[in-house]
Amino acid sequence: MKRIVVLSGAGMSAESGISTFRDAGGLWEGHDVMEVASPEGFARNPALVQDFYNQRRRQLHEVKPNAGHSALVELEKFFEVSIVTQNVDDLHERAGSSHVLHLHGELRKVRSTGPTAAVFPWKEDLTPDDRCPDGFPLRPHIVWFGEEVPLLGPAAHITAQADVLIIVGTSMQVYPAAGLVHYKQPGVPLYFVDPNPAVVPDQYDSLEIIPEKAGAGLTTLAERLAYTRL
Ligand code: APR
pLDDT (mean) for 71-79: 97
Q: How many CA atoms lie within 13 A of 183 on its CB side?
A: 22
Span 21-59, pLDDT tens digits? 999 988 988 889 999 999 999 999 999 999 999 999 999
- Please tell me whether residues 114 and 10 are part of one structural domain: no
- Please tell me whether residues 25 and 10 are part of one structural domain: no
Expressed as residue numbers, the domain containing 47 is 19-62+105-142
Residue 85 Cβ contacting ligand 1 at under 6 Å: no
Span 99-139, pLDDT tens digits? 999 999 999 999 999 999 999 999 999 998 899 998 999 99
Ligand 1 centroid distance, CA of 133 (Å): 36
pLDDT (mean) for 77-85: 97
- Please tell me whether residues 42 and 153 are part of one structural domain: no
- Please tell me whether residues 119 and 199 are part of one structural domain: no
- Please tell me whether residues 69 and 118 are part of one structural domain: no
Query: How many Å apart are CA 89 and CA 44, to the nearest integer?
Result: 25
- Domain finish residue from 89, 121, 142: 142
* Predicted TM-score (pTM) of this structure: 0.97
Which CATH number is 13's domain given?
A: 3.40.50.1220
Residue 13 Cβ contacting ligand 1 at under 6 Å: no
Does the pLDDT at position 194 exceed 80?
Answer: yes
- Please tell me whether residues 168 and 95 are part of one structural domain: yes
What number does the ligand 1 atom closest to the CA of 10 have? 26
Total count of domains within the chain: 2
Q: How many CA atoms lie within 13 A of 225 on its CB side?
A: 27
Which CATH number is 114's domain given?
A: 3.30.1600.10
Query: How many Å apart are CA 86 and CA 106, to the nearest integer?
Result: 9
Question: Quick one: CA dihedral 32, 33, 39, 40, positive or negative?
Answer: negative
- Please tell me whether residues 57 and 163 are part of one structural domain: no
**Average pLDDT along the chain:** 96
Residue 216 Cβ contacting ligand 1 at under 6 Å: no
pLDDT (mean) for 129-154: 96
Query: How many Å apart are CA 106 and CA 101, to the nearest integer?
Result: 10
Q: Is the ipTM of this complex over 0.95?
A: yes
- Please tell me whether residues 115 and 203 are part of one structural domain: no
Active site residue 104: yes
Does the pLDDT at position 222 exceed 80?
Answer: yes
State the distance between the two ends of the chain, measured CA to CA, in whole angstroms: 10
Ligand 1 centroid distance, CA of 198 (Å): 10
pLDDT tier at 230 (50, 70, 90 boundaries)? low
